[in-house]
Amino acid sequence: MSEPIALVTGGSRGIGAAVARRLNSSGHRVIVASRTGAVPADVDVAGSIAMDVADPESIDSALAEVAEKFGTIGVLVANAGITRDNLLMRMSDSDIDDVLDTNLAGSIRLCRGVTRGMLRAKSGRIVLVSSVVGMLGSAGQVNYAASKAGLIGLARSLARELGSRGITANVVAPGFVTTDMTADLDDSRRTEILSAIPLGRYAAVDEVAGVVDFLAGPDAGYITGAVIPVDGGLGMGH
C-alpha cells in the first residue's frame, strides 16, 4: 500500500514546515499549502500547492488539483493561521473578517473538502492547530481567540459526525512558539509572557510538530475530539 497523503496548510514556514518534516519522516507523502505555494528549504515534500484558505474557490480548486495529482488525502493538518491584534474598540471589520475567514471558516471548508475522500476510504485523520488563547482568552486578540475557540467546536462536532466512519478529529493548542508570528512581540510583552509560563520558555516548532505527528499516526487511533495543549503549562486547568 502506498504511503498516506498528508496535506499541511501553512506548511511553508513555522509550525507547518516542522509538521511537514515530521510527517515526512513518519512515512507520509506530504503536500504543503500556503498562499505562495512555497516549499520550506529543508523539508522533503511530495508536492506543494498555492491555496488561500480565506478564499473558498481557492480551497476547492487546490483540493481538486491535489486529488488529481496525488489521490485521496488521508491526513489533514489545518494549520494556516494569522493574527490581526487590536483592542476590540479599535478592531476594524477587515481585522475581524480576515482572521475568522482564515483561521475558522477556512478550516471548516478544508474539513468539508477532505471528508468525502476520507469517508470513501473509511479512515482519516484531521488535526486542527488552535491556540492556548482560544480557551484562556487574550486582551487584544478577540478575533483570534474566537477563531481558535471555534476550532474546538469544529473538531468535536466532526468527531461525532465522522467517528463511526474511522475518521478522527483533534485539536492541538500551542502556547507561545518561536516563529514569525511571535517574532514581533516587544521585550516587555515577552518578559510578561515568559513569567506566566510554568516551563519558562517558548516552545520550539518541533515540540508542536511531534504532537501533530502523533495524532496523525497509528498510536492515536482511539483519540478523537481531544484538545492537546502544547503550552508549557500556560493554559493549565482549561
Catalytic sites, residue numbers: 144
Residue matched to cell numbers 509538521: 19
Identify the residue among 46, 82, 96, 121 touching ligand NAP (CB under 6 A): 82
Cα–Cα distance measured from residue 57 to residue 226, given in angstroms and rounded to the nearest whole number = 30
> Is-contact 62 51, C-beta < 8 A?
yes
Does 49 sit near ligand NAP (CB under 6 A)? no
CB of 18 to ligand NAP, least distance (A): 8
Structure-block grid coordinates of residue 127: 488535526
The DSSP output letter for 95 is H
CB of 131 to ligand NAP, least distance (A): 4
Residue span binding ligand NAP (CB under 6 A) among the ranges 21-29, 68-76, 84-92, 171-179:
171-179
> Is-contact 121 74, C-beta < 8 A?
yes
Q: Are strands 47-50 and 124-129 parallel, antiparallel or unpaired?
A: unpaired
Structure-block grid coordinates of residue 93: 471589520
Identify the residue among 79, 141, 168, 224 touching ligand NAP (CB under 6 A): 79
Does 19 sit near ligand NAP (CB under 6 A)? no
Query: Among 119, 138, 131, 112, which Cα is nearest to 228's?
Result: 131
Identify the residue among 4, 5, 7, 9 touching ligand NAP (CB under 6 A): 9
Does 182 sit near ligand NAP (CB under 6 A)? yes
Residue span binding ligand NAP (CB under 6 A) among the ranges 85-93, 114-122, 153-161, 175-183:
175-183
Does 113 sit near ligand NAP (CB under 6 A)? no
- CA-angle at 83, arms to 15 and 126, nearest 5°: 45
Residues 126-145 binding ligand NAP (CB under 6 A) are 129, 131
Identify the residue among 4, 14, 74, 229 touching ligand NAP (CB under 6 A): 14
Identify the residue among 96, 119, 181, 223 touching ligand NAP (CB under 6 A): 181
Residues 6+ apart with CB under 8 A from 85: 140, 141, 144
CB of 132 to ligand NAP, least distance (A): 6
Which SS3 state, helix, strand or coil, does residue 30 take? Answer: strand
Q: Report the b/e string of 201-210 with b at 16+ CB within 10 A.
A: ebbebebbbe
Structure-block grid coordinates of residue 101: 475567514
Does 53 sit near ligand NAP (CB under 6 A)? yes
Structure-block grid coordinates of residue 74: 488521508
Does 176 sit near ligand NAP (CB under 6 A)? yes
CB of 135 to ligand NAP, least distance (A): 12
Q: Which residues bind ligand NAP (CB under 6 A)?
A: 9-10, 12-16, 34-36, 38, 51-54, 79-82, 102, 129, 131, 174, 176-177, 179-182
